[in-house]
Amino acid sequence: MDFQMSGAATALREELRGLVRDHLPEDFLGAFTSDPADLETAQGFCRLLADRGLLCMSWPEEFGGRGSSPWEQTVVREEMWAHHEPRGAQYMGVNWVGPTLMRHGTPAQQRTHLPPIARGEVIWCQGFSEPEAGSDLASLRTTATPDGDGWRINGQKIWTSYATMAQWCFLLARTTRVGDGGVARKQQGLTIFLVPMDDPAITVRPIGCMMGPHHLNEVFFDDLRVTADDVLGDVDDGWSIVQAVLAFERVGIARYARCERLLHLAPDALGERWDDLSVELRGRWVRALTLCRRARLLAYRVVALQAGGTVTPTDAAAYRIAVTTLDQVSAEVLVEIAAEIGADAPPASALFLREVNDHWRYSQAATVSSGSIEMQRILLARSMVAPR
């Protein structure tokens, strides 16, 4: 299958690769390390992209974008993820926070939040999962209680990526209990709030893990005071927004691009030792490259559906299953290939080893984060059962 895009998209890809080559350290492995310089490198790169109109290409011009096609934005996603996401956590604001605000935000919310995202100046985190509400998100216990002309929020979130560096949180809380006010299902009575992370009523506690700092955190809300202006969309109708958010989020990261890049780097990293690999291992390497193509095809299908306004969570689930499986299959193959690198390996091998190690560590959480693969399979299976 030919995945070649238009001439403009090809030129854009070359421009992005040139910017990565000229403005990022050769050993850059992402913003989320213990070295603060890596985050600053990513923030600087975001501003560079924004200045060139490359950060939010597909956004409408009125919101700071260029009105480009979703395929050009897909090129940006692919090149960024292939090179260890030098936008840092900005992909969250670009891929789904911004588009969600365009659809559901008030004019005041759009004026407040969209320009900083488009300039690459603000980081968002997502306040969804809780200790007893992960895959079953609608069972969350964080509550927002009416308080004068606003609300008081109390509760806890967990596994919140980037909470230590974020300025804003896209927070889901329960505003009406099941059984009250006509709320019959747990998916009802939920509301989205846009809250500043520097409020003293918010406490963030990092959770150590092998993925490194910033990826996992606990966030506590103790009598957080918000106003009606902080509500996104309608009160008690947050679940419909969440469904759209998850569809955008799950396809917004082009994880297959990094897998494919690392697999293609493997022969050069091994040099003459490549020919000594077992037939079985090289066969698995080829199969992993095939799975990259499958994931790319499913991603492009969802991009096409998004462009037509018909994407559903089920469409995103099929892609999510393919790409998270690819993450882990490719990581295992790459680790075994990397184990064959000897002392006589080419100079590029040292960086390749670090990249493979980073990819393997991240891949371990791939089938859990942003919705477990089991839940994606259930969602997909339900869509395939004919109604009686």
Q: Does 249 participate in catalysis according to the annotation?
A: yes
Q: DSSP string of 258-297?
A: HHHHHHHHHHHHHGGGGGGS-HHHHHHHHHHHHHHHHHHH
The total of other beta-carbon atoms located within 10 Å of residue 208's CB is 9
The catalytic position among 79, 249, 260, 355 is 249
The residue assigned the tokens 């260890």 is: 84
Q: Which token pair is 174?
A: 């329960």
Task: List the one residue out of 195, 242, 192 whose CA is nearest residue 221.
Answer: 195
Six-digit token pair at 283?
């066969």
d(CA 92, CA 98): 8
Catalytic site residues?
249
